[in-house]
Structure 1
Amino acid sequence: MTAPPGEALERLQHRAAAAGGRWLDETEPGCWRTVTITTPEGYRAAYWQELFPSDEETLALFAAGPDRLEAALAGLGEAGLDLARAPGTWSIREQVLHVVDLELAALHKLKFALAGPERGRVYNGNGFSQDAWAAGMRYAARPVRAEAALFRLLREHVLCVCEHTPGALARSVIASGREETAGRLMKMMAGHANVHIRRIGEIRKQHAVD
């Protein structure tokens, strides 16, 4: 019998610790589990497992995003927004603008899923380079107040649509050859934003900005 993923990972964690390896768990609750193991020799192994919350849990994750972002930014002035983990990495300001742009890009696909109950609708969208967008739209120099407000309004808009649309989270489109439900899209959007919100918190802690 194969051990459940959680049990197998726990055993692997103990083995890695015994061998002097490093274990990094960057799990996003309700969205995915991500674990990276670095051996004493410098080799790295990564494990990723998608999690499948209920519709109610997905809606709660999605709804919590604006409060989490605003809390992460509370009390920061312009100088604070320009703090980063290290030179050449994104600042808090750039993290925020990226989150909102990704939200806008993903929203287009999500709205196609929510707009019709029929399965099999094909969605054709364009990918984008996050670094090219950051440079082209001057993330490093722009204010974030309007974007943080827009993030809240976008989330409220989607939640309102879901509230008034029967079976909203089960509606879907076909994208890149696979079915994508509205619920899964919302979960991944929530997880993506939470990753960057957590990074903002890490930057504040690193620079002792309470």
Structure 2
Amino acid sequence: MKELIHEYALGYEMLRKAIEGLNEDEFHYKPAPDKWSIHQILIHVTDAEISATPRLKKVLAEEEPILISFDQNAWANNLEYDLLDREQYLLLFKFLRSSMQTILENLTSEQSERVGVYIDQERFTFKQLLEFRVEHVRNHLAQIERVKKAYQENQVSN
């Protein structure tokens, strides 16, 4: 659990490192019309954190709370992600993650096994939900690398 909490805490730095030195063309490059740009990925990662942080807290604070996900495509398509301030969102991600640190550092093994229930009746422990948060950032870091590579290949072919 310590490694999981440690990686969770590093999420912001990992995102920052992944985008270091990118220019605006790279941030807004979409490898295909139906794919997200790095800018959009960063906004999405923060929106996911905005949604997930209260779920994590509910599981710790309430008895088997009902958990609700958000429709990531609806958010991306209807909230004008391209117009949103990437730096503001990255800071929000940083603050959301850091707001959980004291809670996580004092987590007991019993708390890590507390359960939340999604409306489809699927049950997850706090530990599983935290694993999802870490995996979510890992997946989008890999996606950022794929977009960066596609951008480079596009520059070479043009």
Say whether the fold is shared (TM-score over 0.5): yes
In the TM superposition, what whole-angstrom CA distance separates every residue of 1:92-114 from its partner, at most 9, and x where no partner exists?
A: 11111111111111111100122
Residue in 2 aligned with 1:188?
A: 132
- Match of 1:175, SS state, is strand
Scaled by the length of structure 1, the TM-score of the pair is 0.65
Counterpart contact for 2:31–2:147, Cα < 8 Å: yes
Residue in 1 aligned with 2:156?
A: none
- Superposed CA RMSD in Å reads 2.1
Cα distance in 1 for residues equivalent to 2:123 and 2:152: 44
Does residue 99 of structure 1 match 2:99?
Answer: no
Does residue 131 of structure 1 match 2:76?
Answer: no
Q: Measured at CA, do residues 78 and 145 of structure 1 come closer, stay the same or move farther in structure 2, by a change above 3 Å?
A: same
Counterpart contact for 1:96–1:148, Cα < 8 Å: yes
Highest RCO, 1 vs 2 (Cα 8 Å, sep ≥ 6): 2
Matched-pair identity in %: 26
What's the CA shift for 1:191?
0.4
Cα distance in 2 for residues equivalent to 1:194 and 1:64: 11
Structure in which a larger fraction of residues adopt helix: 2
Q: How many residues align?
A: 151
Cα distance in 1 for residues equivalent to 2:24 and 2:110: 39
Q: Extract structure 1 runs of 4+ deviating beyond 6 A.
A: none
What's the CA shift for 1:78?
2.5
Residue in 1 aligned with 2:5?
A: 59
Structure in which a larger fraction of residues adopt strand: 1
What's the CA shift for 1:76?
2.0
Does residue 207 of structure 1 match 2:139?
Answer: no
Q: Which has the larger radius of gyration?
A: 1
